[in-house]
Structure 1
Amino acid sequence: MKHIKFSISLLLLLVFASCEKELDLQPQQSIGIDAATATPENINGILLAAYDIGRNTSPDNLAPLYNGNYSGYLNISSELLGNTDQVSWNGTFDYLRDIFNKALINNNTGALNIYSDSYAIMGHVNTVLANLDKFDDAAERDRVEGEAKFLRGIVYFDMVRFFGQQYNPAGNNSQLGVPIILTPPDVSIRIERNTVEEVYTQVISDLTDAFAKLPDDNGARADKYAAQAILARVYLQQGNYTGARDAADNILQNSGHSLTATFAEAFDTDDNPSETIYSWVITQQEGTNISNTHYATEALGGRGGDIAITQAYLDKFDSDADQRRNFTYPGEGVSTGLLLTSKHVRQFANATPVRIAEMHLIRAECNFRLNSSVGLAPLDEINALRARSSAPALGALTLDLILNERELELAFEGFTLHDYKRTQRNIGTLSWDDNKLVFPIPQSARDRNPLLEQNPGYN
């Protein structure tokens, strides 16, 4: 993908930002919404601001207004909440320590930031979608609509996985998810939480529309294959293995993306390599790579190894020759004695890449479950991925081996919590559906909207 510089318009931030950024994004200045949405250029600016919220960007000379869910906080939260013994938490932030200890309270800062930033993104996105009539050019209108629905789809998907219980493939998903808001910001909005089923239905609708409307190539912004890659994740999380397999297969066959020659080449790049389907652009001028902040040493721009690798993770490998096992480095300074991942060592690397390797793993797992060989036989697919990392070929496959491959390949990228929940594996001594593995609805949001029911265990 080509680099572009996403920039937030201060004007738009003054219109849409609020200090709490919950469901009610109240205008802070006297400029009218009609003026702010009067032209296609303004609508594009609001859309770019939505991207920027996701990656922890601020206007020039101002402190960041948002924390950056897609700069790394969603990934870190999944790894900390989904792990007990494969990583260690060594940092000083209480709210992240509480996530790792599965001891969240209803005003946990991490949960609040993810919740409020998500609705800030959707406030911008919904404003864009409400003003598509400003575009005379049909192709531009479709692109803008596709990008907006991509953002809304991925945000709701991530929210429902953190704030709601796991989707049940057998049906009856009446467990509470998050409120679905499809209209521009309105301080009077007070609605109840939608069910997990309803949120997934909205996610699939948005991402399906995005896939249909986005171009094959869209520079550094989301294209149709980015939308389909998230759809493949959604279907896999649902247990819709046919849908997940076919979405992943289409990307593998038609997107033009391919595995990098070596495992190391897939990570920490200024520009996206062939393996990256989509990522959130970080530059020295804009954005912060939060994964680097918490995984890297001080010399590499981090805090000194807040999150480190333990022996339990290394023990999951069957070969010392596997490049993934050796993709580490020893800490120094405050992190002396810690083993750190080399996935997050570049301070201004693009964040949260959606990689083609994940699509290979999705297709292989779904083919195995369905006893099919769409695109490639499961054993051949897994062995091809292992060969890229110099791991020896497997002679036979089991589901446990495939799931283990996901952990070896996708470790520290934000998959752990969600994979353990969908496969119903315990996390330490906690059952996969334990209430402690679900984020609380932030108390500040409930104070403003009494209709929001709290998750069990947080009252």
Structure 2
Amino acid sequence: MKKIVPGLLAMALLAAALPSCNNKLNVQPVTYIDTSTAFNNASDVQAALVGCYTGLQSVNLYGGYLQLMTDLLADNGDESFVGTFTQPQEAQRKTLLITNSQVSATWLSAYDVINRTNNVLANLSKLSTPAQQASVEGEAKFIRSLVYFDLVRMFGRAWNDGTPASNPGVPLVLAPTLTAADALPVARNTVADVYTQIITDLTTAEARLITGGGLNSFSASRYACAALLARVYLQQGDFANAAAAANRALATTSLGLNPFYGANFGFTTANVSAATISITTNTNTIEDIFAIQVTAQSGTNQLNTFYARNRRADVTVLPQFTSLFETGDSRALLYTPATASVASYTRKYDALYGNVKLIRVDEMLLTRAEANFRAGGTPVGATPLADVNAVRTRAGLPALATVTLAAILKERRLELAFEGFRLGDLKRNQETTVDPLTNASIPWNASRLVFPIPFREINVNPNLVQNAGY
């Protein structure tokens, strides 16, 4: 009898409990649910797919903690965590413990989402039409790839650090985990294994979503698949493929830059300058390729909790970062001015129920610019200079006459700051960071910049090997 581990499909669990109400003596098990009960028809599979998106909303994933913890681990003086929570403090100090509860929660939530997608993919035959099957397969594989890409970058060494074919990555689980015992034998696949699976899944997903998956940034589209592929290839240093994928992600007139950078975070040019105004909503725009949906009923924007000055205000922005803005740069309006007694804060997360923007047009323009520049030869799509100037013009800055790699990377740093990009960029560009307590330099490939495999996982699964340095 096939079974699904609890916590994977809450809606299905509730539905399964209903028959037992007719006979109080016929008590249904509460630790699992038969797949035959959970997936009877196309509607059940579609509902399970919605559950995959819901899983991404978790505060332990893209609801905020994943971006916060990776940015703090990479930080070299752009921000400071001044709150009292020990888990983020460990990240900023580059002294993560194997018992860090937030690291463990992110691992658990990630594999929960992966298992949800695996259950959807195992039941594609229940869908009514080939078009439905293609769409659902594409969306589920996009979600699984998104999670695996961040897992392997957090818990494995960087692609350019040593040998990916032998460096331990994370366990690849590609079939539903039906019982608790099924999870015990898993071991860590190599970094190369994980990247190969991600690229395979995303390539399939992009092809499947030619006719399925709407361009509404609520759900995965072929443009989102291409954009995520561009990220993966850029992380690998495969610049030709990164440029081509970014170009495909931009190949629709339905997407474009917002006239004002702050519109990505719910602001207009009128209200962003008013220090007393706080926004409560932040919806999708033409710039969003894929975003996590947050409402008062569903999802949590934990970035609002930590970054917003009218919430916990646990993360301050330091002069090292704000000094990078040129005079007239409208992106600087998203940072409150510091005084002798008050620190600077980012306003990107002022919206209490703001959607979390994961993939935007501006990232793809800068990815295409960097990848084309590094690859050399004839550029794919626009030239690096044109792409960089598109971003600069939107920011109210004069166009550059020539472009350098340093200029491209600076625009990327300013455009995507405090959104979870810093650790990946630091490692692929082989930059150093610093210990905030001693000011000692920490190289990009230091063991302490890799997250530990959670103690609870090592403790119950002897096949999991801990990362070096822990």
What is the TM-score with the length of structure 2 in the denominator? 0.86
Structure 1 residues 148 and 216: CA distance shift in structure 2, 3 A: closer
After superposition, give the CA deviation of every residue in 1:114-169 in whole Å (9 maximum; x if it has no partner): 11100000111101111111113111111111111011111100000000000039
Are 1:107 and 2:99 matched, yes or no?
yes
Query: Counterpart in 1 of 2:214?
Result: 217
Distance 1:149 1:352 in 2: 19
The change in CA–CA distance for 1:216 and 1:287 in structure 2 (over 3 A counts) is: closer
Q: Structure 2: which amino acid aligns with 1:188?
A: A
- Corresponding residue of 1:312: 320
Q: Check whether the contact 2:255–2:361 (CA below 8 A) recurs between aligned residues.
A: yes
In the other structure, the counterpart of 2:195 is: 200
Matched, 1:349 2:354: yes
Larger Rg: 2
Q: Which runs of structure 2 are paired with 1:60-139 in the superposition (5 Å)?
A: 67-139=59-131
**CA shift in 2, pair 1:261/1:30, >3 Å:** closer
2:19 equivalent to 1:12: no
Q: Conserved in 2, the CA contact under 8 Å of 1:277 and 1:354?
A: yes
Distance 1:160 1:232 in 2: 16
In the alignment, the residues of structure 1 paired with residue 213 and residue 39 of structure 2 have an alpha-carbon distance, to the nearest angstrom, of 27
1:331 deviation in Å?
Answer: 8.6
Q: Secondary structure at the match of 2:291?
A: strand
State the shift of 1:30 in Å: 5.6
Q: Distance in 2 between matches of 1:149 and 1:389?
A: 35
Offset of 1:14 from its aligned partner?
Answer: 6.6
Cα displacement (A) at 1:381: 1.7
Which consecutive segments of 4 or more residues in structure 1 shift more than 3 A? 8-16, 27-31, 169-173
The alpha carbon displacement at 1:170 in A equals: 8.8
Q: What's the counterpart of residue 54 of structure 2?
A: 52
Taking a change above 3 Å as real, the CA distance of residues 267 and 260 of structure 1, as seen in their structure-2 partners, is: same
The answer on whether the counterparts of 1:169 and 1:238 sit within 8 Å (CA) in structure 2 is no
Could you tell me which residue of structure 1 aligns to residue 276 of structure 2?
Answer: none
- Aligned-residue offset at 1:270: 3.6
Pick which of 289-298 and 430-439 moved more.
Answer: 289-298
CA distance in 1, matches of 2:88, 2:348: 20
Query: Residue 252 of structure 2 aligns with which residue?
Result: 254
Residue 437 (structure 2) pairs with residue 437 (structure 1): no
Report the equivalent of 1:149: 141
Contact 1:160 1:199 in 2 (8 A): yes
Percent same amino acid among aligned pairs? 38
Which string of whole-angstrom CA distances, capped at 9 and with x for unpartnered residues, describes residues 206-228 of structure 1? 11111111236254211111111
Structure 2: which 5+ runs fail to align? 1-7, 17-28, 267-280, 435-440
**Paired residue type of 1:84:** N
1:272 aligns with 2:295: no
Correspondence for 2:159: 167
1: CA distance, partners of 2:60 / 2:42: 26
Secondary structure of 2:381's match? coil
Alignment partner, residue 4 of structure 1: none
- For the residue of structure 1 that corresponds to 2:62, the secondary structure is helix
1:275-304 deviation digits (Å, cap 9, x = unpaired): 000101001111111111110023xxx21x
TM-superposed deviation, 1:330:
5.4
**Equivalence for 2:331:** 324
Alignment match, 2:423:
417
Relative to structure 1, the CA distance from residue 331 to residue 94 in structure 2 (aligned partners, 3 Å threshold; closer, same or farther) is farther
Q: TM-score, normalised by structure 1?
A: 0.88
Q: State the match for 2:180 in structure 1.
A: 187
1:145 partner SS = helix
Structure 1 unmatched runs, 5+:
1-7, 17-26, 57-66
Please, which of 357, 368, 386 is the counterpart of residue 373 of structure 2?
Answer: 368
Provide Cα deviations, 1:52-84, integer angstroms capped at 9, x if missing partner: 12113xxxxxxxxxx340111121122111112
Q: Which SS does the other structure have where 2:180 is aligned?
A: coil
Q: Is the 8 A contact 2:246 2:368 kept in 1?
A: yes
Aligned residues, how many? 424
Moved more, 239-248 or 220-229: 220-229
Residue 415 of structure 1 and its aligned partner are, at CA, apart by 0.5
Whole-angstrom distance in 1 between the partners of 2:161 and 2:245: 18
Match of 1:456 in 2: 468
What secondary structure does 1:391 align onto? coil
- Contact kept, 8 Å, 1:225 with 1:255, in 2: the verdict is no
User: What are the superposed Cα offsets for residues 319-371 of structure 1, whole Å, 9 maximum, x if unpaired?
Assistant: 22111123212599xx9712111211101111133110000001100111122
Conserved in 1, the CA contact under 8 Å of 2:213 and 2:220?
Answer: no
